[in-house]
């Protein structure tokens, strides 16, 4: 485990089996990972599905964590959380899911290998990631992509609604 703490950002999404509960449980689970604590979580948003439209709306959020895990170890732990929380894929690419955790940013590091791409490649076009991320870290600069503020400015909030819960 690293002696240094790294600030990382994780996107959470669910559209099956009580999505609000899934997201809340996942934020707590991230806080309980080894060498990791959750330092901020955005509000929850309801969002129109990206991909096939014959699936339920999603609930999305973004969490900030401080972690001593390496980027790859963090990814493995996130995948374990997905599995423990009953992740079910229904075969179809971009189909509905109980819990999806994406590593958006890991400090200012960039990674590109067969397991991990950071910054997450979907980040610049996904309003359900950019808007909650801005809520908790408006000052961010994304390696290779510039200011978060500019990315948000180029990404309309169509189909995205803060969830009243
Ligand atoms: N669409 C939305 N709105 N939110 C998601 O989290 C999400 N996740 C996915 C796909 C199927 C691409 N669509 C999504 O994995």
Assess if residue 1 is contained within a domain.
Answer: no
What is the tally of structural domains in the chain? 1
Average pLDDT over residues 24-50: 97
**Hey, whose CA ends up nearest to atom 8 of ligand 1?**
13
| Enclosing domain of residue 65 | 6-155
66 in catalytic set: no
Assess if residue 163 is contained within a domain.
Answer: no
CA distance 69 to 63: 16
102 in catalytic set: yes
DSSP for 30-73, written as a single string: HHTSTTEEEEEEPPPEEEPPSS-SSSPPEEEEEEEEEE-S-HHH
User: Which of 32, 33, 39, 35 lies closest to 9 in space, CA to CA?
Assistant: 39
Asked whether 51 lines ligand 1 (CB < 6 A), one says yes
Which CATH number do you get for residue 47? 3.30.70.560
Q: pTM value? A: 0.96
| Strand (E) or helix (H) holding 100 | strand 100-106
Asked whether 124 lines ligand 1 (CB < 6 A), one says no
Assess if residue 16 is contained within a domain.
Answer: yes
Q: For the segment 70-127, what is each residue's pLDDT rounded down to a tens digit?
A: 999 999 999 999 999 977 666 677 888 899 999 999 999 999 999 999 999 999 999 9
What's the pLDDT at 90? 62
Active-site option among 25, 87, 134, 157: 87
């Amino acid at each position: 485990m690293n002696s240094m703490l790294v600030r990382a950002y994780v996107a959470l999404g669910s559209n099956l089996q009580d999505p609000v509960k899934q997201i809340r449980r996942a934020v707590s689970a991230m806080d309980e990972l080894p060498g990791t604590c959750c330092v901020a979580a955005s509000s929850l948003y309801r969002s129109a599905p990206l991909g096939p439209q014959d699936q339920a709306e999603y609930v999305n959020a973004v969490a900030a964590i401080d972690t001593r895990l390496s980027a790859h170890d963090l990814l493995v732990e996130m995948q374990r959380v997905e599995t423990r929380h009953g992740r079910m894929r229904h075969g179809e690419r971009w189909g509905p899911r109980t819990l999806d955790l994406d590593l958006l940013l890991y400090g200012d590091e960039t990674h590109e290998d067969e397991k991990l791409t950071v910054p997450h490649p979907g980040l610049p076009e996904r309003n359900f990631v950019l808007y909650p991320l801005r809520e908790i870290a408006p000052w961010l600069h994304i390696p290779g992509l510039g200011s978060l503020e500019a990315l948000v400015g180029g990404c309309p909030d169509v189909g995205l609604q803060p969830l009243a819960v």
